[in-house]
């Protein structure tokens, strides 16, 4: 059977704290040996000298667009993008058509995934039917069909009573409710962060309070119900503080940040030397915030308050973003730049390597309790699945969206130099992606 | 090469007085006469001519100034483009004898533009042209009525008419190189 | 004349041939006019000097010239605006340009064509200059990015309305001369006002002290602390009208949109009138010769009392007249820059 030997890399497993030069041997889909100078006849060799070898990266938050929005992306193209970005597992968001709000819809989705996915894909169901916020989805049915969580992502569950019931019912079947925290009455028709830049550009803004008022409500409901709550894409300094306090009180709360919010601020909308003003590629919901917020998010990751770095990869067809700022859809295509933005932040000293990698591996595995589905996922212990990501933390490259595997070229990073690049990705014991080292 | 002086001080003043006499003579007096100087150097010249006429006719003919920038055919070719300035034409020109006044007559294109421009201010009975220097090289069928001096030049040369009002001295100079300013 | 201050000039300085009496002149070097913040003080002066000539041209028996013969100006309006469109059209025709007016309702825009496609089509049919008015902030910027035609922003959302600001400054200069240290108060719905923003940048560049005043729900607070170039005028943001008007040289009232009431940003128009209407009584605080301006169209009896709107201090009509001359100047500078 297939064997892969990853040689001479720096093994970094946040789940065990292991950080040393080591080879990794994968046989028949599982990690079977870790140590120096491993040798195995007939094994496919992945040379990892100078590279970091980590458990395969897990993305809790990706929009694969299929079914329903294939002009933006398909399961094939967007999981290929995830693969090239170093992810071996993605959790697919439910804002598709049909919405995965019942078992048959999820089964249909799983069929497509089995056919086309290039990495492991876990479906995430919708909290409410059709994500309309009116009536709860069949939550236990979704859990039984394989959904690892539910969310109405893109929209919040505006009704507090519905959210309360969702946390109660999902909690009783051990499923997380992931929430896009937003108070619609405050965010209104805002298209970016409300602040100096929105006032300068004359764009309607979303105030911080739109996020923090909603986080506060959801924390209260979490406390009221005891159901597990995952706060998606925290973007505000105050939001990080709220999550930290809730965790200190022992509430079953987890949270994520996106690489975009760790790397960029609302100034990206105003444009710069490389990017145009009113840059629709920097239009994202929740919006890019201020430098103060960005620093708080980085501190949150470093301190472990934030459990996961999740991409919120949101591809759009080029013509959909090439329009007036107000009319452009929200979202950034970032599966292929996520790890590199994180490693760039590590290189700058803004993020620490251990918590950063933990937030891309073991952290997200625990948030959606993925070990219940794949034991050992997110680690490189003996017996763990053969999901491994190998990246060169030194390589400097320039983002060129026209080379993306994703259908979405909507990135505010076009032309920007990043440090750190994926070299090889092994999924379920198979080398699925390999990129030669550039000439020295 | 340094400028060659062709005329200075009193000589320039004498030439202006002669032109003033010629203008009045051809107009049978100063009635209905309007002197319109082309910006920049034609304007002080027109004022001088008017003052000279006043000395022997007793009254000062109206003086205007005209900017032809908006009527040029070569805006695209001039770098930097000349600034455009407001014109100032006294009263109506209907039925009057307008004498266009400029320092140097060269290709004739400025005068062509000036004739277009002046028609937008009314319908003069006659339009005449007075220049301090005619240096030849016409590109259009235009001929001056009153000429201070005819100075044959090479196209590489330029004529510089200096007036006390704009340059602090009266004088006419011949120079090598440099662009004929104002495009004449 | 406005005094010259160091600024990053979009234009370039060019020396005159030796012996010429003119001072160094500024050449218009911008492909597009999207806002006033890209204009240097020298650019502003070039616009105002050129406008002086256009004012004179308009006063001639034949108030038009043929300078821009062969230039095609297209106005593309996604918002209703009789005055701005008419002003551009009159200006273009007064310079001899061909003018084509496209309204969102009558062009293929109504059929769902994207702005970018529309702009490319307009370029393909031979437009040299495109004047665009659009409800979305940044729309003119987007259009400019996708066409080689020169784009003039005729007002985009709450972002910018540069020609309005230029005509406002020109009108102010006619009355008070140098704007340095002059106190200009802009009153009303500043948050949603492109006129206020474009005026702010240009006024600060000219060294004026600007106060933005209105109900706290309609004020962009952070504009107060924006960094600007050295020597620029100040910007203050306040809700206190009485204080704002003290010793004001120029008071500009902005139009109040009734929808602000529906959005809950104003309790009622009555409440607005009570606190912010520009009245003779309130102008008592201002400089006795203070000018009153309004970008129009006015809601008389709402943001401005009829007495003030038609009073001796009001220069609203002059603003409209100067609008044509300023737009002629902009069209002339842009068209001749394109031909070079």
Residues contacting residue C186 through CB under 8 Å, at least 6 positions apart = C193, C196, C199, C200, C210, C211, C212, C213, C252, C254
Residue closest to A261 by CA, chosen among A362, A170, A192: A192
Residue given tokens 């100032």 in the structure block? B88
Token couple for B167: 């340059």
Confidence of residue C18 (pLDDT cuts 50, 70, 90): very low
Active-site choice (A13, A101, A312, A387): A312
Whether the link from the prior residue into B40 is cis, omega within 30° of 0, is yes
Q: Decide if A3-52+385-394+405-434 and A56-372 have a common fold.
A: no
Contact B67/C at CB under 8 A: yes
Answer whether A204's CB lies under 8 Å from A189's CB: yes
Residue C267 belongs to a domain: yes
Whether the link from the prior residue into A67 is cis, omega within 30° of 0, is yes
**Given C56, C65, C66, which is nearest B86 (Cβ)?**
C56
Q: How long a stretch of residues is chain C? A: 340
Answer whether A337's CB lies under 8 Å from A315's CB: no
Q: Report pLDDT digits (tens) over A260-285.
A: 999 999 999 998 777 789 999 999 99
For residues A422, A59, A246, A212, the Cα torsion angle rounded to the nearest 10 degrees is 100
- HSE (side-chain half, CA atoms, 13 Å) at C5: 23
d(CA C250, CA C253): 10
Residue C151 belongs to a domain: yes
Domains of chain C: total: 2
Contact C174/B at CB under 8 A: no
Cβ–Cβ below 8 Å for C60 and B120: yes
Share of chain B above pLDDT 90, in %: 73
Range of the domain at C153: 12-161+322-339
Answer whether C84's CB lies under 8 Å from C327's CB: no
Per CATH, the number for A56-372 is: 3.20.20.140
Range of weakest confidence among A89-103, C12-26, C201-215? C12-26
Residue C6 belongs to a domain: no
Q: At residue B83, does pLDDT exceed 90?
A: no
Q: Report pLDDT digits (tens) over C64-74.
A: 999 999 999 99
Q: How far is C194 from chain A (nearest CA, A)?
A: 7
Q: How far is C168 from chain B (nearest CA, A)?
A: 20
Which B residues in the span 75-134 are in contact with C, Cβ-Cβ below 8 Å?
Answer: 75-77, 79-81, 83-88, 92, 116, 119-122
Q: Report pLDDT digits (tens) over C78-118.
A: 998 888 999 999 999 999 999 999 887 655 665 678 999 99
Distance of CA A15 to the CA centre of its chain: 19
d(CA A345, CA C229): 32
Name chain A contacts of C221, Cβ cutoff 8 Å: 199
Q: For testing the chain C interface, which of B84, B92, B178 should be mutated: the one with the most C CBs within 10 Å?
A: B84
More confident residue, A374 or C2: A374
**Given C136, C192, C223, which is nearest A325 (Cβ)?**
C136
Q: At residue B71, does pLDDT exceed 90?
A: yes
Name chain A contacts of C194, Cβ cutoff 8 Å: 202
Q: Report pLDDT digits (tens) over B54-65.
A: 999 999 999 999
Residue closest to C326 by CA, chosen among C204, C185, C154, C190: C154
Contact C14/B at CB under 8 A: yes
Answer whether A377's CB lies under 8 Å from A368's CB: no
Name chain B contacts of C340, Cβ cutoff 8 Å: 76-77, 79, 81
d(CA A323, CA A321): 6
d(CA A138, CA A129): 8
C139 and C245 fall within a common domain: no
What is the chain C residue with the closest CA to A203?
A: C137
For residues A232, A233, A237, A243, the Cα torsion angle rounded to the nearest 10 degrees is 20
d(CA C220, CA C208): 19
Q: Is C104 helix (H, G, I), strand (E, B) or coil?
A: coil
Alpha helices, DSSP H only, in B6-163? 10-26, 42-57, 109-119
Cβ–Cβ below 8 Å for C25 and B69: no
Q: Is C257 helix (H, G, I), strand (E, B) or coil?
A: coil
Residue closest to B90 by CA, chosen among B64, B125, B60: B64
Cα dist. C102→A50, C94, C118, C136, C137 in Å? Answer: 61, 19, 10, 17, 20
Which C residues in the span 197-236 are in contact with A, Cβ-Cβ below 8 Å?
Answer: 197, 220-223, 225-226
d(CA B4, CA C221): 66
Residue closest to A231 by CA, chosen among A153, A166, A160, A302: A153
Mean of per-residue pLDDT scores for chain B:
90
Residue C293 belongs to a domain: yes
Q: How far is C47 from chain B (nearest CA, A)?
A: 11
Q: For testing the chain C interface, which of B43, B81, B168 should be mutated: the one with the most C CBs within 10 Å?
A: B81
Strand partners, A257: A309
Contact B181/C at CB under 8 A: yes
Q: Is B77 helix (H, G, I), strand (E, B) or coil?
A: helix
Residue C3 belongs to a domain: no
Q: What is the pLDDT of residue C24?
A: 47
Q: Report pLDDT digits (tens) over B166-175.
A: 888 899 999 8
More confident residue, A257 or C260: A257
C227 and C118 fall within a common domain: no
C191 and C102 fall within a common domain: no
Cβ–Cβ below 8 Å for B120 and C61: yes
CATH architecture of A3-52+385-394+405-434: Roll (2.30)
Q: Report pLDDT digits (tens) over C50-63.
A: 999 999 999 998 89
Contact C139/A at CB under 8 A: yes
Q: For testing the chain A interface, which of C109, C116, C138 should be mutated: the one with the most A CBs within 10 Å?
A: C138
Strand partners, A418: A397
Domains of chain B, by residue range, sit at 4-71+87-176
Cβ–Cβ below 8 Å for B70 and C332: yes
How many C-beta neighbours within 10 Å does residue C221 have? 14
Cβ–Cβ below 8 Å for C116 and A322: yes
Sign of CA dihedral C13, C16, C22, C27: negative
Q: Which CATH class is domain B4-71+87-176?
A: alpha beta
pLDDT-flagged residues of chain A (< 70): 1, 439-440
Q: What is the pLDDT of residue B181?
A: 60
Q: What is the pLDDT of residue B76?
A: 64
Contact C192/A at CB under 8 A: yes
**Given C114, C191, C223, which is nearest A323 (Cβ)?**
C114
Which C residues in the span 68-97 are in contact with B, Cβ-Cβ below 8 Å?
Answer: 95
SS (H, E, C) chain A: CCEEEEEEEEEEECCCCEEEEEEEEEECCEEEEEECCCCCCCCEEEECCCCEEEECEEEEEECCCCCCCCCCCCHHHHHHHHHHCCEEEEEECCCCCCCCCCHHHHHHHHHHHHHHCCCEEEECECCEHHHCCCCECCHHHHHHHCCCEECCCCCCCCCHHHHHHHHHHHHHCCCEEEECCCCHHHHCCCCEECCHHHHHHCCCEECHHHHHHHHHHHHHHHHHHCCCEEECCCCCHHHHHHHHHHHHCCCCEEEEECHHHHHCCCHHHHCCCCCCCCCHHHCCCCCCCCHHHHHHHHHHHHHCCCCEECCCECCCCHHHHCCCCCCCCCCECCCCCHHHHHHHHHHCCCCCHHHHHHCCCHHHHHHCCHHHCCCCCCCCCCCCECCEEEEEEEEEEECCHHHCCCCCCCCCCCCCEEEEEEEEEEECCEEEEECCCCCC
Residues contacting residue B107 through CB under 8 Å, at least 6 positions apart = B137, B138, B139, B140, B183, B184
Q: Report pLDDT digits (tens) over B10-39.
A: 899 999 999 999 999 999 999 999 999 999
**Given B86, B121, B181, which is nearest C20 (Cβ)?**
B181
Q: At residue C16, does pLDDT exceed 50?
A: no
Which C residues in the span 155-184 are in contact with A, Cβ-Cβ below 8 Å?
Answer: 156-160
d(CA A233, CA C224): 31
Residue C7 belongs to a domain: no
d(CA A218, CA A212): 10
Strand partners, B158: B175
Cβ–Cβ below 8 Å for C336 and B75: yes
Q: What is the pLDDT of residue A438?
A: 80
Residue C241 belongs to a domain: yes
Confidence of residue B156 (pLDDT cuts 50, 70, 90): confident
Contact C137/A at CB under 8 A: yes
Range of weakest confidence among C202-211, C258-267, C278-287? C258-267
More confident residue, C106 or C266: C266
Q: What is the pLDDT of residue C17?
A: 34
Active site residue A293: no
Contact C91/A at CB under 8 A: no
Cβ–Cβ below 8 Å for C116 and A278: no
Q: What is the pLDDT of residue C8?
A: 38
ipTM of the complex: 0.90
How many C-beta neighbours within 10 Å does residue C62 have? 11
**Given B76, B86, B122, which is nearest C340 (Cβ)?**
B76
What is the chain A residue with the closest CA to C145?
A: A276
Q: At residue B81, does pLDDT exceed 90?
A: no
C102 and C178 fall within a common domain: no
User: Please, what is the Cα angle at C248 between C247 and C252, to 5 degrees?
Assistant: 160
Q: At residue C6, does pLDDT exceed 50?
A: no
Q: How long a stretch of residues is chain B? A: 184
Residue given tokens 């892969």 in the structure block? A4
């Amino acid at each position: 059977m297939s064997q892969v030997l990853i040689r001479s890399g720096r093994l970094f497993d946040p789940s065990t704290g292991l950080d040393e030069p080591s080879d990794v041997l994968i046989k028949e889909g599982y990690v079977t040996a870790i140590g120096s100078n491993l040798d195995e006849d007939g094994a496919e060799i992945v040379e990892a000298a100078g590279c970091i070898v980590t458990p395969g990266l897990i993305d809790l938050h990706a929009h694969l667009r299929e079914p329903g929005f294939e002009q933006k992306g398909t399961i094939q193209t967007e999981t290929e993008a995830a693969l090239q970005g170093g992810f071996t597992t993605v959790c697919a968001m439910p804002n598709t058509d049909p919405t995965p709000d019942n078992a048959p819809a999820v089964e249909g989705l799983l069929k497509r995934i089995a056919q086309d996915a290039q990495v492991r894909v876990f479906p995430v169901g919708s909290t409410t039917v059709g994500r309309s916020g009116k009536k709860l989805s069949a939550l236990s049915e979704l859990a039984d069909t394989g959904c690892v969580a539910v969310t109405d992502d893109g929209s919040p569950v505006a009704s507090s009573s519905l959210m309360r019931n969702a946390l109660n019912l999902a909690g009783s079947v051990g499923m997380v409710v992931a929430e896009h925290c937003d108070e619609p009455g405050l965010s209104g028709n805002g298209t970016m962060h409300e602040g100096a830049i929105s006032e300068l550009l004359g764009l309607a803004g979303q105030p911080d309070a739109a996020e923090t008022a909603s986080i506060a409500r959801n924390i209260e409901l979490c406390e009221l119900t005891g159901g597990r709550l995952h706060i998606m894409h925290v973007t505000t300094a105050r939001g990080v503080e709220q999550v930290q306090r809730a965790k200190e009180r022992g509430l079953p709360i987890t949270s994520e940040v996106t690489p975009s919010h760790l790397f960029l601020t609302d100034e990206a909308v105003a444009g710069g030397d490389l990017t145009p003003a009113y840059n629709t590629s920097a239009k994202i919901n929740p919006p890019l915030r201020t430098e103060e917020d960005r620093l708080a998010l980085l501190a949150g990751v470093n301190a472990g308050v934030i459990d996961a770095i999740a991409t919120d990869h949101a591809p759009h067809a080029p013509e959909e973003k090439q329009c007036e700022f107000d009319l452009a859809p929200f979202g950034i295509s970032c599966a292929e730049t996520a790890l590199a933005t994180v490693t760039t932040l590590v290189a700058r000293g803004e993020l620490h390597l251990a918590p950063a990698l933990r937030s891309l591996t073991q952290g997200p595995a625990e948030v959606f309790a993925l070990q219940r589905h794949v034991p050992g996922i997110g680690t490189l212990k003996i017996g763990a699945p053969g999901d491994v990501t190998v990246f060169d933390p030194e390589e400097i490259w320039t983002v060129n969206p026209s080379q993306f595997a994703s259908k979405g070229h909507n990135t505010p990073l076009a032309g920007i130099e990043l440090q750190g690049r994926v070299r090889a990705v092994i999924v379920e014991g198979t080398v699925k992606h390999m990129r030669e080292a550039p000439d020295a | 090469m340094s400028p060659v002086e062709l005329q200075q001080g009193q000589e320039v003043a004498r030439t202006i007085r002669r032109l003033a006499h010629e203008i009045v003579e051809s107009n049978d007096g100063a009635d209905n006469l309007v002197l319109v100087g082309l910006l920049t150097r034609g304007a002080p010249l027109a004022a001088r001519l008017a003052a000279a006429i006043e000395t022997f006719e007793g009254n000062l003919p109206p003086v205007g100034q005209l900017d032809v920038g908006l009527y040029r055919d070569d805006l695209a070719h001039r770098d930097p483009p000349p600034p455009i300035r407001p014109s100032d034409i006294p009263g109506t020109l209907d039925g009057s004898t307008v004498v266009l006044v400029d320092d140097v007559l060269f290709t004739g294109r400025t005068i062509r533009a000036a004739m277009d421009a002046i028609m937008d201010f009314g319908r003069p009975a006659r339009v005449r042209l007075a220049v301090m220097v005619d240096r030849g090289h016409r590109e259009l069928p235009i001929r001056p009525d009153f000429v201070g001096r005819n100075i044959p030049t090479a196209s590489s040369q330029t004529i510089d008419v200096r007036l006390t009002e704009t340059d602090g001295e009266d004088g006419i100079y011949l120079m090598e190189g440099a662009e004929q300013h104002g495009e004449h | 004349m406005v005094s010259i201050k160091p600024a990053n000039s979009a234009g370039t300085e060019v020396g005159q041939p030796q012996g010429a009496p003119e001072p160094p002149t500024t050449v218009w070097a911008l492909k597009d006019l999207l806002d006033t913040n890209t204009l240097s003080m020298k650019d502003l002066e070039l616009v105002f000097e050129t406008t002086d000539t256009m004012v004179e041209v308009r006063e001639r028996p034949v108030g038009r010239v043929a300078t821009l013969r062969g230039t095609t100006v297209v106005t593309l309006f996604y918002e209703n605006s009789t005055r701005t469109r008419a002003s551009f059209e009159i200006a273009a025709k007064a310079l001899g340009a061909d003018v084509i007016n496209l309204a969102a309702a009558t062009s293929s825009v109504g059929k769902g064509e994207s702005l970018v496609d529309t702009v490319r089509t307009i370029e393909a049919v031979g437009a040299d200059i495109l004047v665009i008015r659009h409800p979305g902030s940044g729309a003119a910027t987007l259009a400019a990015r996708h066409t080689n035609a020169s784009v003039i922003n005729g007002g985009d959302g709450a972002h910018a309305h540069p020609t309005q600001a230029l005509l406002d400054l020109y009108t102010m200069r006619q009355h008070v001369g140098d704007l340095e240290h002059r106190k200009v108060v802009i009153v009303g719905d500043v948050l949603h006002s492109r006129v206020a923003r474009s005026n702010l940048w240009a006024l600060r560049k000219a060294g004026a002290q600007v106060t933005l005043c209105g109900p706290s729900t309609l004020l962009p607070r952070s504009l107060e602390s924006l960094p600007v170039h050295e020597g620029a005028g100040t910007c203050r943001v306040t809700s206190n009208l009485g204080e704002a008007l003290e010793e004001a040289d120029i008071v500009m009232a902005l139009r109040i949109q009734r929808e602000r009431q529906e959005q809950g940003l104003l309790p009622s128009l009555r409440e607005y009138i009570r606190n912010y209407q520009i009245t003779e009584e309130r102008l008592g605080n201002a400089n006795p010769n203070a000018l009153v301006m309004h970008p129009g169209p006015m809601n008389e009896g709402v943001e401005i009392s009829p007495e003030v709107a038609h009073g001796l201090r009001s220069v609203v009509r002059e603003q409209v007249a100067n609008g044509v001359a300023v737009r002629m100047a902009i069209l002339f500078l842009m068209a001749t820059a394109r031909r070079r």
